[in-house]
Amino acid sequence: MISFRVVKTFPRPGKRGAAPFRLEVEHELADGAFLGVCGSSGCGKSTLLRCLAGLEKPDEGFIADGGETWFDRRRNIFLPPQKRCVGFVFQDYALFPNLTVLGNVLYAARSREKAMELLSLARLLDQADYFPHELSGGQKQRTALARALAREPDLLLLDEPLSALDEDLRCELGEEIRRIQKETGIAAVLVSHSASELERLCDETIRLGGSGPLSLAEARTPLGTAVTA
């Protein structure tokens, strides 16, 4: 189980002189669960993922993976990203352009056998020797997903990985992500602006507010319900 309480204050994007925004989220994510995160632009969705991954440090709170503490402000614990069992799929995929599909996955995999297993799972065996510029948007997305899974993470973080795709491909690859997540049994957090996408793919969803902190009860309001702070 991944449990966390993340509190972080940061400037409001595009609003010079405005009061800082305070992100405050608390949640417990069971093994194999798929959590969706939604909310208006600038409300801290990507910041939450970056805090969970160790790419940013919260101001307060804790993050724990079962019995292992990744972050605890009171105990002055902060594990860097490489020491957290996390896989991250970025919005732009962040593939290495000079490496093939197999090379990108091997970068994170413990063995070639594991990398080939993941390419099979992601249906990329025929593209193993392709470079990123030779791939379609969907193939790039699946390569990034396979690379993230190659770390054998306890937590998979997905930061709007489908936003650049057309609607038909977005639906198709959303189902692919869900299929792979179910088969691997890894807990996952998906950030998306699409309420229908979150409702279709996720077991539960939390909503972050756009103008101030939300209590946990407010953050868990049903999809489609407006929340103001």
Cα separation, 60 vs 16, whole angstroms = 25
pLDDT of residue 93 exceeding 90, the answer is no
Tokens at residue 131, please? 């470079």
Residue with tokens 């030779």: 134
Domain contains 190: no
What's the structural domain count of the chain?
1
Whether this prediction's pTM lies above 0.85 is answered by no
pLDDT at position 125 is: 96
Q: Which of 185, 176, 183, 120 is nearest to 154 (CA)?
A: 185
Domain contains 112: yes
- The 10s digit of each residue's pLDDT in 34-44 is 999 998 877 88
**φ, ψ for residue 101, nearest 5 deg:** -55, -50
pLDDT of residue 214 exceeding 80, the answer is no
- The 10s digit of each residue's pLDDT in 146-188 is 999 998 899 999 998 877 677 777 788 788 888 888 988 999 9
On whether the CB atoms of residues 189 and 29 are closer than 8 A, the answer is yes
Q: Which domain holds residue 132?
A: 95-152
Cα separation, 111 vs 147, whole angstroms = 12
Dmax of the chain from CA atoms?
53
- The 10s digit of each residue's pLDDT in 111-143 is 999 999 999 988 899 999 999 999 988 899 889
Domain contains 7: no
Q: Which of 45, 77, 18, 17 is nearest to 157 (CA)?
A: 45
Domain contains 2: no
Q: Which of 229, 227, 201, 189 is nearest to 51 (CA)?
A: 189
Residue with tokens 């990123």: 132
Domain contains 221: no
Cα separation, 176 vs 39, whole angstroms = 24
Per-residue pLDDT averaged across 185-209, rounded?
Answer: 89
Domain contains 109: yes
Domain contains 124: yes
- The 10s digit of each residue's pLDDT in 34-89 is 999 998 877 889 999 999 999 999 999 999 999 899 999 999 999 999 999 999 98
Domain contains 16: no
DSSP conformational letter for 59: S
35-36-39 Cα angle (round to 5) = 145
CB-count exposure of residue 50 (10 Å: 0-12, 13-18, 19+): buried
**φ, ψ for residue 152, nearest 5 deg:** 55, 55
**Cβ neighbour number for residue 16 with a 10 Å cutoff:** 6
Confidence of residue 219 (pLDDT cuts 50, 70, 90): very low
